[in-house]
Structure 1
Amino acid sequence: MKAAHYSSKGLARTVLSVGVEPDPAPESGEVLVRIAHSGVNPSDVKSRSGITSPAMEFPRVIPHSDGAGVIEAVGAGVSKDWIGQRVWTINGQWRRPFGTAAEMIALPESQVAPLPDNLSTETGASLGIPLLTAWYAVHACGGLLGKTVLVYGATGAVGGYATQLAALSGARVIGIAGSPEKCQLASMLGAEWVINRNEQDVVASVREITSGNSVDAIIEVDAAANAAKYGDLLKFGGDVIIYGSGAGLIEVPFRAMIVGFVNLRFFIVYNLPLAVRKLAIDVLTPLLERGVLKHPQVEVFPLSEIATAHERVESGANAKIIVDTRL
């Protein structure tokens, strides 16, 4: 099969190459997916560049955890009903050497989910990490009917889905975005109010929106950048659900947060327990089938240009970056 790979960490154009690898075969409990499109996430480029860890976890890595395609074969113990089904992948390269930036991948049956016929494989490759992260962030908030939720990065890959899912759960969403265009998009995704963080004071705006009552929960993409405001933004007993941070150390306003009984909850989507992940898929599949969710705009690159795709993610592309493994 054709696949992209790297054997050392560094700049995309330096370490990534495309060549021929042995075709995988599904072992017991696994399915073999012929990948049409592979999604590039920030975690993929951080891992390849050495930001996450400078050491190679495996001698040779085929990157990317997210992808979509068709199941071609199954291993022992897996129903043959899977064969021919369109699926999206979960944790394709998490703690494994070979991910979705290839024509084929063999994965445990629990790491694929049905891709409805109304969705393209480009969209399917956009789901994985972003959609599951957004679902769990909203799920972790508990019952949201009538509550107010602040979503940082409300139009990002995760934030866009979180905005929609929170609104669908009955929350009144305040979206935070960084430009007039993104503010308009956040409104289209279901945010009742939108704050342009580059033009407005977030704390003052939230107090005005809530008549001084603050918010019940915050869904956070960059804790290091925003933690200093938590004590001023949250109601008594409020929750911050944290799935990302732009820095490894976070400073919080201890006095305001201890007096306010603020709860900080951290999670990483890769480690979602299997039962929780199954619940997520059971909830999300009907939404996907009914076309309820709006999906991010995509930019598609051929596998031969995977280095350019990684560079687009690193430059902060305003689109979901996808690699077509057939080209």
Structure 2
Amino acid sequence: MMRAVVVRSFGGPEVLETVEVPVPETGVGQVRVRVEAAGVNPVDVATRAGALVEIGLAERRDTHGIGWDLAGVVEEVGAGVTGFAPGDRVAGLSDRLDLSLGAYAERIVLDADALALIPDNVTAVQAATLPLNSLTADQALDLLDLSEGQTVLVTGAAGAVGGYAVELAVLRGLRVVAVAGQADEELVRGFGAEFFVPRGAELGSAVRKLVPGGVDGAVDAAVVGGAALTAVRNGGAFVAVLDGVAPRPLRGTRVSNVWIRADGPRLAELAGLAGAGRLSLRVADTLPLDEAAQAHERLGKGGLRGRLVLLP
């Protein structure tokens, strides 16, 4: 048996339950990981509150697993798995919404292609902050499909997704206009942003003063919507990170949503960048698995820089 946090009824942090469940079995092409750290993300709050069921992204179940991000040690590999062996240090992403167990657990079984080896100089706690947010940022930039030297606006640039979007954009040779709170200017410029616009400014006018005609694309990590679109040039590109918040494709813009998917090979590359100091791994704090409710309370209050991490 093992411990896991699950959701049986939707509501506030108090509905999170720590239960004893059987250790999951490893199938063909799968890997069982002993979880050492599990990241706490806004999507976990949406799962707990029932928002994903409400908008039709998940079916109502008796028990919902919770948690997407994890890092730990390979415990067992299933038939047909190559590239992983017991004892390997890995990070992974649990991206399915139809499971009764998520990453908030002592063990998890994932498809092998959702996992990546992590460098020796990256701790499990640090690695558990990487998969969901860095892959979301990376896949958003893929959707923008910009070329080296072009400009990109990143809203919420001090946040987890936004921070990675700035750093990864710079690594792609893009010029970044970062939007964040005034107190975070030094932080986001440290990520490599060339331009800075304080949160609350009229984005269209402020950005176009810095980039005449508007930026070539935007990653809207702060869910600003239409206000961010006004900063994008005619015929540019815009990526929203949440369902139902993408603005209309005015002025010939190409507007899309990023739908995150597990990608072990790319995650391995991102982990390598983190190990080389080219991606920032930010941990706000750690808490025991049994204090998942407290972690959700803290996340709900906002103001965190980095991710909270649960320790099974």
1:269 paired to 2:260: yes
Cα deviation, residue 203, structure 1? 2.0
Percent same amino acid at aligned positions? 32
Query: Which residues of structure 2 form unaligned runs of 5+?
Result: none
Question: C-alpha distance in 1, partners of 2:167/2:271?
Answer: 15
Note the 1:68-107 alignment, pairs <5 A.
68-79=71-82, 81-91=84-94, 93-107=96-110
Do the aligned partners of 2:90 and 2:117 also contact (CA within 8 Å) in 1?
yes
Q: Match of 1:17, as an amino acid?
A: E
- Select which of 129, 152, 170 maps to 2:132: 129
Which residue number corresponds to residue 187 of structure 2?
Answer: 185
Aligned residues, how many?
Answer: 307
Cα deviation, residue 229, structure 1? 4.9
Cα deviation, residue 303, structure 1? 1.0
Question: C-alpha distance in 2, partners of 1:56/1:149?
Answer: 36
Do the aligned partners of 1:29 and 1:78 also contact (CA within 8 Å) in 2?
yes
Structure showing the higher strand proportion among its residues: 2
Question: C-alpha distance in 1, partners of 2:209/2:52?
Answer: 39
Q: Secondary structure at the match of 1:240?
A: strand
- Select which of 302, 308, 312 maps to 2:288: 302
- The verdict on how the C-alpha distance between 1:249 and 1:158 changes in structure 2, with shifts beyond 3 A counting, is closer
Do the aligned partners of 1:228 and 1:251 also contact (CA within 8 Å) in 2?
no
Q: Match of 1:226, as an amino acid?
A: G
Which residue number corresponds to residue 46 of structure 1?
Answer: 46
Question: C-alpha distance in 1, partners of 2:189/2:80?
Answer: 46
**What is the TM-score when the length of structure 2 is the normalising length?**
0.91
Runs of 4+ in 1 over 4 A off after TM superposition: none
Question: C-alpha distance in 1, partners of 2:122/2:19?
Answer: 29
Question: C-alpha distance in 1, partners of 2:44/2:35?
Answer: 17
Q: Secondary structure at the match of 1:82?
A: coil
1:226 paired to 2:225: yes
- Select which of 302, 314, 326 maps to 2:300: 314
Which residue number corresponds to residue 10 of structure 2?
Answer: 9
Do the aligned partners of 2:6 and 2:100 also contact (CA within 8 Å) in 1?
no
Do the aligned partners of 1:92 and 1:98 also contact (CA within 8 Å) in 2?
no
Note the 1:113-262 alignment, pairs <5 A.
113-178=116-181, 180-198=182-200, 200-210=201-211, 212-223=212-223, 225-230=224-229, 232-244=230-242, 248=244, 252=248, 257=250, 260-262=251-253
Question: C-alpha distance in 1, partners of 2:246/2:255?
Answer: 12
Q: Secondary structure at the match of 1:194?
A: strand
Do the aligned partners of 2:77 and 2:84 also contact (CA within 8 Å) in 1?
no
Q: Match of 1:194, as an amino acid?
A: F
Question: C-alpha distance in 2, partners of 1:57/1:309?
Answer: 24
1:287 paired to 2:273: yes
Q: Secondary structure at the match of 1:52?
A: helix
- The verdict on how the C-alpha distance between 1:282 and 1:123 changes in structure 2, with shifts beyond 3 A counting, is closer
- The verdict on how the C-alpha distance between 1:278 and 1:4 changes in structure 2, with shifts beyond 3 A counting, is closer
Question: C-alpha distance in 2, partners of 1:215/1:156?
Answer: 21
Query: Which residues of structure 1 form unaligned runs of 5+?
Result: none
- The verdict on how the C-alpha distance between 1:81 and 1:44 changes in structure 2, with shifts beyond 3 A counting, is closer
Cα deviation, residue 169, structure 1? 0.8
